[in-house]
Each structure stands twice: as structure tokens, then as C-alpha cells.
Amino acid sequence: MLLPPYLLHERVRLIRLYSGMNQSEMARMLGMTQGWLSKLESGSSELTAEQLFLIRKHFQLSADAVMDGLIPYGDLSRKFGASIKLPRKYATDPNCRARVLYGFVQLLEEELGKKQVAEFFRSMRVKPEIMANPDFPINLNLVFEFIRFGMEKKVLGSDASWAKVAEHTLTPLALGLGFTRISSAANPADAFRRFCDLIGQFATDFEPRFSVASKNSVEIAVSYPQQLNRIRSVGSAGNVVALSSYTRAMLRTVGQIASDLKVDVSVLPFPDGGSKAVVAKAASSKAGRGREMLVYRAQWR
């Protein structure tokens, strides 16, 4: 699997990578040869109870975390001062988190198979192991590599495909606080407001501005980083269209989670589209100046 949850032997390898240890160091810590550790990480040999105890003790992990796959890889990385390196193109000025890629990776894996998607990671010189940490910092260049690849392979482009990406992206939150907060909202408007509050789980440089437009509609102005226009993926205009398709699909999915009502999401130009309230909020924000911005109107009935 390229996405969590991982098998036990895959978790052992991820623990080693996120702590910055090489196979020789890890093998010495576990009292085994490097060759045996290699077999263990490939799944051709099994972890003993004693080795599990040593891993838990050295990395200060609970048995549940290791056995159930709830390993805080980001915490491991910070604790041991180690990190998985990304090519500079995808690491400079990070404004997203790896979780934003989950939907793309799962859809591509379903349509093309794990082998082809793994080869795509290698072609970018990006380690798939970054997906183990949903908060791993990335920038929009990497997001658009996946969009471009999906379009080239005829996997991405239709409303149905974007809906799948959104569903696969939001599903990992199903057991977390974010999903619970959205699904327990009092009404659709409250669900969209809560989603705007949670947007930082996906991106750090997007600032949505929320406003109630009527009793059955809300408007959300989203400012996109200036970096968007510098990405040579499908052209700056195409980049905006692709990202707006993704945002619309995410908002539609939020509407489905929150209500049995039919929810439609449309895109309005900024500042000509949208209510005065949301335009004023967006224009007054620091993020709203000198950036590409769109207004999304969600209506339900």
C-alpha cells in the first residue's frame, strides 16, 4: 500500500526512515544482522515479541501504536531530528500538507495499479513514504504533478473523478475530530463554516472567508497562493481551473456528509461574483491582496 494503514513490516521500515536510522543502525539496536532486518522490512520474516519490545522502548511507542498502525511519524521525525528529503522543487515555500494528495494517490492506484503509481513517485524522485505522515509539508508544485499525471492518463478531469478524489481525501478524517465536527453540524451552513475552520489540515497558505448568503446558501472566498501562477503544469489558467474543480468537489462532499439535502456548488469570479459580505471579508484580508481568488457558492434544497 502507498497509503496508510500499513502492514506491520512496512511500519518497521517507516519507523526507521522517520527516525533517520539506516539499516545497519536499526539491526544493531534490534540485535540482528542487516540482512535479517532487510527480510523483516520486506515481509519475508516476522517480528518477534522481543524485537517489538525493543522498538517500543527505543522509539517510545505504545504497543497499540505499533500494532494498530497509529504511529505519529511526524513526532518521530521531530524527536530524532530527522526528515525525509524532497527535491527542492516540491519543498520550497511549503503551503500544503501531504494529506491533500491522499485522494489523488488512491484514485490513481485504483485506476492504474500500485506499480505504475510507485514508478511515478520515482520519476519525481519523491519517496512514497512521505504519505505516512499526513502533515508532511509540501508545496503546490507536487499537487499539480499529480493533477497533470492524472489528466495525461485520462483518469482525472470529469466531475465524477474529482468527486472520487474529494471522497478519498476526506475519508481518512472519518475517524478523526475533523469529520466528527462536520458530520455533527446543526445544518449545512454550520458544516461549511466548520470545514473552513479545518482547512489548515490540508493547506497552510489558503485563507477561506465564509459568509452566509441566504437561508439556504453560503459563500466561501478562497485565495490561492501566488505560487499558483508560477507552476508550469497545465498553464496558469488551467491550474486555477484544476484547483477550483478540486475545491468544488471537496465542498460538495462536505455537503453530502452534513445533510441529506441536495447541495450544488458553483464558482463565481472575484470580485464581480459573490455577495458584498464575502467580497468585503476577502478583500480586507492579507491573503486576499495580489492573489488569485474565487468565490464558491453552496446552495441546498
pLDDT for 101 beyond 80: yes
Could you give the dihedral angle defined by the CA atoms of residues 72, 78, 82 and 88, in that order, rounded to the nearest 10 degrees?
100
Does residue 59 have a pLDDT over 80? yes
Boundaries of CATH 1.10.260.40 in the chain?
Answer: 8-79
Residue 287 has pLDDT above 50, yes or no: no
Determine the length of the chain: 301
Q: Is pTM beyond 0.75 here?
A: yes
272 pLDDT above the threshold of 80: no
- 44-58, 72-86, 192-206: which range is least confident on average? 192-206
- pLDDT of residue 226 exceeding 90, the answer is no
Say yes or no to pLDDT of 195 above 90: no
Region 237-251 average pLDDT = 85
**Residue 64 grid coordinates:** 497499540
Average pLDDT over residues 15-25: 96
Q: Please give the Cα distance from 110 to 34 (Å, whole number).
A: 34
* Distance in Å from the first CA to the final CA of the chain: 40
Phi, psi of 201 (to 5 degrees): -70, -20
Over the stretch 113-163, which tens digit does the pLDDT of each residue have?
999 999 999 999 999 999 999 999 999 999 999 999 999 999 998 999 999
- Kindly indicate the confidence band of residue 288, based on its pLDDT and cuts at 50, 70 and 90: very low
Question: In CATH terms, is domain 8-79 a member of 1.10.260.40?
Answer: yes
Residue 280 scores a pLDDT above 70: no
Say how far residue 208 (Cα) sits from the centre of its chain.
Answer: 17
Across 52-173, where does the E strand assignment appear?
96-97, 137-138
Query: How far apart are alpha carbons 208 and 201 in whole angstroms?
Result: 13
Q: What is the pLDDT of residues 76-90, one digit of tens each?
A: 999 999 989 999 999
What percentage of the chain carries pLDDT values higher than 70? 86
Strands 263-269 and 292-300, by their bridges, are antiparallel
pLDDT for position 175 = 43
DSSP line for 230-270: G--SS-HHHHHHHHHHHHHHHHHHHHHHH-SS-EEEEEEET
